[in-house]
Amino acid sequence: MDIRQIRYFLAVAREGQFTKAAEMLNMAQPPLSQQIKQLEVELGVTLFKRGGRHIELTDAGQVLVIRGEQILELLGSTQRELDDLYNGEEGEISIGGVSSSDMYLLPICIQAFHRHYPKVTFQIFEGDSHRIIDMINKGLLDVGIIRTPFNLGNYRYTIKRLRGKGEPMMAVFAENWLQPSINSLNFDELRGIPLIVHRRYEGMIVDTARRYQFEAKILCKGEDTRTLIALAETGIGVVIMPKIYKIKNSQLICRPLKDASLITHTAMIWLKNSYLSAAAEHFIQLMGSMGEKAERG
């Protein structure tokens, strides 16, 4: 039994005559009668009581009318769902982000996207850059939102910056380390001072120190920004971190670093040459465009 036979059968059942059904289907009557007979043989039942000008459904025929209509409705809804998936109207988008990244932009983008694609749902994961990249590699995420610098082996990934100018770095410290009256710091003022850094920025900070002809004195490096800030609160060193962070402790002093090379960007990443649903592609386009607007405005 195939879909064509079901359509033929339902046409005959509705019209009550092979002749009218054949006309409606734009085909000759003999082939239609042959298809119905073949269907009866395949199912091992009689579907119609034949005799006179009109035919009547048997009990088996009545059952097949109900099921046949359900099958066609299911087929139609399946096709519509597949079309929606192809067009990005439905589906699920999995997004991973580092909490220090421009995750503030994510809720705004989801809200805007939901207005246009209300049937699309989201899964959101947070973690450090290593976890986000690992989840992308395993196919668990469609797109990740992380901060530069990162070592991805760029040939495997597509990378799109969300904010063109990037975010400068700042020094966060207790009063005992540097003069709090100044508005900004030159990097060479960090010479000999114990530094507390996120692992992601270690290479950037070490390279910058060498440009200023000194070795960065890295006291502590870690992954969790909250821990690094807590260390700064103890007064054991100076934290170097992106200016985007909001420091709630009024006892800590935050000063931007003047060096223009100390910049970090927020970027979306996803695997090259891998399948992305239409919904995910639409979302990436939207978030990219909204990131550009945020940068301009």
What pLDDT shows up at residue 297?
A: 47
Mean pLDDT lowest for which of 44-58, 136-150, 153-167? 153-167
pLDDT tens digits for range 79-108: 766 776 677 777 889 999 876 555 667 888
What's the CATH number for 3-86? 1.10.10.10
What is the topology classification, in CATH, of domain 167-263? Answer: D-Maltodextrin-Binding Protein; domain 2 (3.40.190)
Domain spans, the chain:
3-86, 88-164+265-296, 167-263
Higher local confidence (pLDDT), 156 or 121: 121
Give the pLDDT mean for 3-30: 89
> How far apart, in Å, are the Cα atoms of 203 and each of 130, 206, 207, 216, 264?
16, 5, 6, 10, 12
User: Helices (DSSP H) in the chain: which residue ranges?
Assistant: 3-15, 18-25, 29-43, 59-87, 105-116, 129-137, 199-211, 225-234, 278-296
What pLDDT shows up at residue 99?
A: 67
Question: Is 55 strand, coil or helix?
Answer: coil
- Answer yes or no: is pLDDT of 154 > 60: no
What pLDDT shows up at residue 207?
A: 93
pLDDT band at 170 (very low <50, low <70, confident <90, very high): very high
State the DSSP string of 149-165: -----GGGEEEEES-SS
Mean pLDDT of the chain: 84
What pLDDT shows up at residue 287?
A: 84
Domain 88-164+265-296 matching CATH 3.40.630.20: the answer reads: no
What pLDDT shows up at residue 28?
A: 92
User: Nearest CA to 145 among 103, 97, 105, 187?
Assistant: 97
Answer yes or no: same fold for 88-164+265-296 and 167-263: yes
Give the pLDDT mean for 175-198: 83
